Structure 1
Amino acid sequence: MKAALISAATLKSWLRDGAELAILDAREEGEFSASHLFWAVPCPLSQAELRAPRLLPRRATRIVCVDGGEGGYAGKLAAFLATIGCADLHILEGGTRAWEAAGYELFSGFNVPSKAFGEWVEHHYGTPSIDAADLATMQAEGRDMIIVDSRPIAEFRAMSIPGAIDVPGAELAYRVPAMVPRPTTTVVVNCAGRTRSILGAESLRRAGLPNPVVALRNGTMGWELAGFTCNRGRDDRYAPGTPPDAAETLARARRFADANGVRWITRAAAQDLLADPSRTTHLFDVRDPAEYAEGHIPGAVSAPGGQLVQATDGWVATRHARILLADDTGTRAAMTGGWLRQLGGWDVFCLTDAMEGRLEAGHPAATVPDLPKPRTITPADLAARLAAGAAAVIDCGRSLAFRAGRIPGARWGVRTRLAALAKDLPADRMLVVTAPDPALAALAAAELAALHPAPVAVLEGGTAAWAAAGLPLHADRRDPPDEACIDTWLRPYDRNEGVEEAMRAYLAWEIDLVHAVERDGDAPFGAW
């Protein structure tokens, strides 16, 4: 099936017609972040087999594929989507260049709808905030306060405010009430920049926490820009288990959810919605990933509530879809649902009995139909071949992970750029592909084998297995250089030069988003 070309004006009208619509951008995430449509979702060709099935649970929805107008990427993505059963396929003629030429707004950055929503929340609710100098003074004076970091633990370990405790996103309204000793204790919420600080602080306020609650203005970036030092490698985190006041936090969270149009249904009714072929319906488990792994509804996708609101474009591509949210006590689902309703106007349902009935454990691997079955090689065998000069390694993982630790001598590559890389690879030795996902490695190996005469194999278990076998890793923060990291949006502190300048530019960009959204006109936050 051939996808139909549509104009920018047609796509603009579709954004406003109330029907389901998914806009998928075929470029790599770094390219996408330079300039894209507000409601476009990154689905890079290099990850399409893994990402598209999760983004598109209903293949009959209306889909528009976009690129930057370079020619080819959107068409290739549409051709792939046709192979997995997508039928209502379209391509934006001329890509983002045509969109801009038509007078419509383009956005830089990543997770733009969520970040713009955070700025709207601050304006709409008047979320109070303090700057880094104020917080440092409060700490020096020994004020009665608690600092909670609303990011996932991996980000917290990378950098955190001294004295902070990690309580990610949707966990805040669930756990903080039991963590504060007195109603007069000030609660300071921070993230790396602004969005999760604002949404975290406002979550506690919307949930009726009686304590003074403030966001740390500009988060850890603001802290370091003010001349203070962040901690590295800390693991301070909330106590696991169900808080003693779970019933009370649910009652408060439910009032917030109900006020924003969230509906409550049983697990059986949720299955009926999932079986409805006329609507796109997602089922997300919003608990911590470790809780999800212990047992979840079969078919549910792990999407920790705070991250789901912070990065909706990582999970939901379809405008006007239905979203079903599950957790064990309801608080995290209720808070997540209330924010999702205000952000994107999706039809949101929270399950009342999510943990009753059959559960499955673990994190299911992505299923890729007709996945090639490549030749494989163990870490020990690869080490021997490398020592003999009989192998070359191509790492198709994330560029930032490659910087942090790669097999010595490995070359980094993106699947969609393998043709250029293959020209420089030796023909007299085995080419070994490593990637964090075995499906991604198998796909890259098959493509490389079609481009190069040398035998190609996949490293069993990837670079993680190599490291687990006690074999050496090499780190080089400058390889690949910043400009070559097309697969990811580089955060300011991922960059090698101009970090402070990038931090200031990022914070200014976040603050200005609310004005860009007004110009765009297609995100009536809070008024769907």
Structure 2
Amino acid sequence: MSAEINVAQLEIWLGDGQELAIFDVREHGEYGLGHLFFAVPLPYSRLELDVTRLAPSYRARIVVYDDGYSRVAAAAVRRLTALGYQQVYLLAGGTQAWSAAGYALFEGVNLPSKTFGEQVEAIRHTPAISALALHQHLQRQEPLLIVDGRPFSEYQKMSIPGSICCPNGELSVRINGLLADESTPIVVNCAGRTRSIIGAQTLIDLGIKNPVYALENGTQGWMLADYPLEHGQTRRYADDTAINPDRRSHASALAEAAGASWVSPEQVKSWIAAQDSVYLLDVRTETEFLDGTLPGAQHAPGGQLQQATDQYVGVRNARLVLLDTENVRAPVTAYWLQQMGHKAYILQGGIEAGLREQIQLDLNPSVAPVLARISVKQLREWQRSRPLRIWDIRSSQDYRNGHIPGSVWISRPHRIDADVSDVVIISDDPQQAAWLAVEGHPLGWLEGGVATWLEAGGEVDVTPDSPPDAERIDYLFFTHDRHQGNKAAARQYLAWEQGLWQRLHPSEKKALNPLAVKKW
């Protein structure tokens, strides 16, 4: 069913402990400029592509909103209902009503995770080292291990000189292979604050004997101190690192202290059969994931799952079942997720037990409408012989970088219920193009997109200023160049991050519960 609810009802639901998804269906740029604290981004342009992963149960209670003025939320309610979701509600007035009720709207992304990191530092007094102090240490050439807790792709873009890439999710099992002794200080960094804090506190809570520090403000703090960053580095942990024999017991103690539970394969299967919202989250490396995982599992490396939970999990109070092979990474991840207000479980026996007992999460994605495939030759003939519109639904940045002459950039929310009978769609993703067809009957999709056009000898127009910034609702401008040397943007971002907790409503603060003292 679908219905309309008000802010007061949503506030009640946020505190009732039942499954609840709050989807902001505006485009990424609009979401990033002001959204509800617990909202999960589900842009209307990608709704059918992402919703099954974010909301795996059709019985989940879902609230959808926009700014209160546009038609996109109402359209999303219709689409979700048509896809089979049984409890879909429209938040009356959207962000305007939420703000009028006294709640803050938050810029940026991954708000719960970042706010939680700030609270961990405040409550646990996570040791930190400034860029100046670290630079002086390096100048003295004293023993030191700098660990970059971000994924390798981020590490390669910019890194602290001499640092080694070891993503936070791997720290618990790889750190010993990077250390020469138990006295060398360890510094954990990321691009800003959250992963530095959580990475350092993870090592401390695991009982690492070495002194451990978070680099204050990460690579941004380093840049603000006018120290040079490295680019394109390839230093990383060794894949064959042996696991410290005490690490399993320490990881288990952490999980239990936070209230996370071990769960049997039989129990997980019963949850799935009951159509509860269950997430199978494989916290291992991408290589391990690709070598074999459970059907329906997401690759959610532990550090990123903590840093950006809303990119993997759309339903609060759902069951998050964490998978590994060694009973270290999953318990450590559960330790943090439980403190963030999630119901975290570690699968007994890990991946192997899940495969043996045939745990399977059938996400059953909806089938996109059949869309005619158009060749470059056919498109050129139509351009010469008939009235024709060419809609490019790729990102606005891709359109600026090069598009087929005569095509226009289109965002799906701006074309709800539009006549598309004379339209050819340009997209790199045929599924995304096909889902646009549910709102009409376009002529078809240019097979292979712009790449095929170029291969056939076609030229493209490059328009650095078109579409204009004001129309680029898919692009988040919020401190977007803080990693490209813009010190003002970096300062703005860091101030925003450190001020998140103070802006929360009391009811929002209740959901985040970092442990105040060591209980293990």
Provide the rounded CA distance (Å) in 2 between the counterparts of 1:263 and 1:164: 35
Q: Residue 56 and residue 250 in structure 1: after superposition, are their counterparts in 2 closer, same or farther (change >3 A)?
A: same
Q: Contact conserved, 1:150 with 1:169, CA < 8 A, in 2?
A: yes
- Residue 510 of structure 1 is matched in structure 2 by 497
Aligned-pair distance for 1:513?
0.8
Q: Residue 194 and residue 413 in structure 1: after superposition, are their counterparts in 2 closer, same or farther (change >3 A)?
A: farther
Q: Contact conserved, 2:340 with 2:514, CA < 8 A, in 1?
A: no
Aligned-pair distance for 1:181?
0.8
Aligned-pair distance for 1:175?
0.9
SS in 2 for 1:335: helix
Please identify, of 68-77 and 344-353, the stretch whose mean Cα deviation from structure 2 is larger: 344-353
Q: Residue 88 and residue 209 in structure 1: after superposition, are their counterparts in 2 closer, same or farther (change >3 A)?
A: same
- Residue 518 of structure 2 is matched in structure 1 by none
- Residue 121 of structure 2 is matched in structure 1 by 122
Q: 1:439 aligns with which of 425, 431, 435?
A: 431
- Residue 138 of structure 1 is matched in structure 2 by 137
Q: Percent identity?
A: 37
Q: 2:473 aligns with which of 474, 486, 502?
A: 486
Provide the rounded CA distance (Å) in 1 between the counterparts of 2:483 and 2:465: 7
- Residue 304 of structure 1 is matched in structure 2 by 301
Provide the rounded CA distance (Å) in 2 between the counterparts of 1:61 and 1:414: 28
Residues 238-297 of structure 1 deviation map (CA, whole Å, 9 limit, x = unaligned) = 2224x21254332222211111111113334322232223x3211111112222111101
Provide the rounded CA distance (Å) in 2 between the counterparts of 1:153 and 1:43: 26
SS in 2 for 1:333: helix
Q: Residue 70 and residue 251 in structure 1: after superposition, are their counterparts in 2 closer, same or farther (change >3 A)?
A: same
Aligned length: 509
Letter in 2 for 1:371: A
Aligned-pair distance for 1:48?
0.7
SS in 1 for 2:162: coil
Q: How does 1:382-461 map to 2 (within 5 A)?
A: 394-400=391-397, 406=402, 412-418=409-415, 431-435=424-428, 437-444=429-436, 450=442, 455-460=443-448
Q: Which runs of 5+ in 1 are unaligned?
A: none
Provide the rounded CA distance (Å) in 2 between the counterparts of 1:153 and 1:382: 43
Provide the rounded CA distance (Å) in 1 between the counterparts of 2:186 and 2:257: 24
Q: Residue 239 and residue 480 in structure 1: after superposition, are their counterparts in 2 closer, same or farther (change >3 A)?
A: farther
- Residue 246 of structure 2 is matched in structure 1 by 248
Q: Residue 357 and residue 350 in structure 1: after superposition, are their counterparts in 2 closer, same or farther (change >3 A)?
A: closer
What TM-score, normalized to structure 1?
0.86
- Residue 171 of structure 2 is matched in structure 1 by 172
Provide the rounded CA distance (Å) in 1 between the counterparts of 2:134 and 2:113: 26
Instruction: Please report the RMSD computed on the Cα atoms of aligned residues, expressed in angstroms.
Output: 3.5
Q: How does 1:335-414 map to 2 (within 5 A)?
A: 335-356=332-353, 358=355, 368-376=365-373, 394-400=391-397, 406=402, 412-414=409-411
Residues 112-134 of structure 1 deviation map (CA, whole Å, 9 limit, x = unaligned) = 00010010111111111112222
Provide the rounded CA distance (Å) in 2 between the counterparts of 1:26 and 1:303: 23
Please identify, of 471-480 and 348-357, the stretch whose mean Cα deviation from structure 2 is larger: 471-480
Q: Contact conserved, 2:426 with 2:433, CA < 8 A, in 1?
A: yes
- Residue 154 of structure 1 is matched in structure 2 by 153
SS in 2 for 1:174: helix
Provide the rounded CA distance (Å) in 2 between the counterparts of 1:382 and 1:153: 43
SS in 2 for 1:199: helix
Residues 465-511 of structure 1 deviation map (CA, whole Å, 9 limit, x = unaligned) = 78999999998776655544422434634479993222111100100
Please identify, of 368-377 and 75-84, the stretch whose mean Cα deviation from structure 2 is larger: 368-377
Provide the rounded CA distance (Å) in 2 between the counterparts of 1:57 and 1:119: 30
What TM-score, normalized to structure 2?
0.87
Provide the rounded CA distance (Å) in 1 between the counterparts of 2:280 and 2:288: 16
Q: Contact conserved, 1:65 with 1:77, CA < 8 A, in 2?
A: yes
Aligned-pair distance for 1:326?
0.3
Residues 402-424 of structure 1 deviation map (CA, whole Å, 9 limit, x = unaligned) = 56x5456575443223579999x
Provide the rounded CA distance (Å) in 2 between the counterparts of 1:8 and 1:192: 35
Q: Contact conserved, 1:69 with 1:96, CA < 8 A, in 2?
A: yes
Q: Which runs of 5+ in 2 are unaligned?
A: 516-520
Give the number of the structure with larger relative contact order, counting CA–CA contacts within 8 Å between residues 6 or more apart. Answer: 2
Q: Contact conserved, 2:223 with 2:229, CA < 8 A, in 1?
A: yes
Residues 65-111 of structure 1 deviation map (CA, whole Å, 9 limit, x = unaligned) = 11111142221111111112222222111111111111223222111
Aligned-pair distance for 1:228?
2.0
Q: Contact conserved, 2:110 with 2:309, CA < 8 A, in 1?
A: yes
Aligned-pair distance for 1:25?
1.2
Q: How does 1:278-317 map to 2 (within 5 A)?
A: 279-317=276-314
Q: Contact conserved, 1:493 with 1:499, CA < 8 A, in 2?
A: no
SS in 1 for 2:236: coil
Aligned-pair distance for 1:448?
7.7
- Residue 195 of structure 2 is matched in structure 1 by 196
Q: 2:274 aligns with which of 273, 276, 279?
A: 276
Please identify, of 349-358 and 393-402, the stretch whose mean Cα deviation from structure 2 is larger: 393-402
Provide the rounded CA distance (Å) in 1 between the counterparts of 2:238 and 2:263: 30
Residues 426-478 of structure 1 deviation map (CA, whole Å, 9 limit, x = unaligned) = x7xx845122x33113224675854xxxx432333x56778999999998776
